[in-house]
Homo-oligomer: A and B are copies of this chain.
Amino acid sequence: MAAGPDLRDRRRTRTRLAIQAEALRLFAERGYAQTTIDDIADAAAISPRTFFRYFPTKEDVVMWDEYDPEAPALLEARPDDEPVAESFRAVMREALGGLYRRDPERLLTRVRLMATVPELRARFLEQQAAGIELVAAQIPDADHLRVRVLGHALVGAVTVALDAWRADDGRSDLMALVDRAFAALDDLS
């Protein structure tokens, strides 16, 4: 077929976004647990079977965002001589900032769900932890223990910032909160 792989991917992304939009709407309206996959499929005019082709689980429809897979690339783009902690902070600011600027409402809805629904909160933290491993793996012959402790502290700061933003119903500036949280890390002792 003529359609290149990029084009196909783009199409898939569009569909995913459409499904996610319907799902988030329903979740906000009547709650996560009260919304079944069938409901979502109906709203998105697809078959339940197809839902699972785009999202492996119900949870993933909340977790997923379209810039997720770009994080590793962002990390590689940082100068080699930058301290690890610095690269890390920069990447997180970029990724989060992108989502924030593009559609703060959607981000807030997702963050709300991740804060409220236990399974989603759990998945969120798990994803954060996975990010740490990803980074730790890229730093050869380092004190693994040290790098990971650092990583946890950093993603922990982001988590705290997101929670504060959500508790405020998204009225405050997310990026400012992130910066304040990072700063708190510096004078931890």
Which A residues are within 8 Å of any B CB, using their own CB?
A: 118-119, 121-123, 125-126, 128-129, 143-146, 148-153, 155-157, 159-161, 163-164, 177, 180-181, 184-186, 188-189
Contacts and interface: CB of A to CB of B under 8 A. Distances in A.
Name the prevailing secondary structure of the A interface residues. helix
Copies in the complex: 4
Contacts of A123: 122
B149 A157 contact: yes
B118 A149 contact: no
Contact of A146 (B125, B144, B152, B184): B184
Contact of A156 (B118, B153, B181, B186): B153
A177 B159 CA distance: 25
A157 B184 CA distance: 17
A138 B180 CA distance: 22
A126 B129 CA distance: 11
Contacts of A146: 184
Contacts of A159: 129, 152
Nearest to A149: B184
Contacts of A151: 156
A144 B163 CA distance: 11
Given A125-B128, A145-B161, A149-B153, 9 more contacts: A143-B184, A145-B160, A145-B180, A149-B157, A151-B156, A152-B157, A153-B153, A153-B185, A156-B156
Nearest to A185: B149
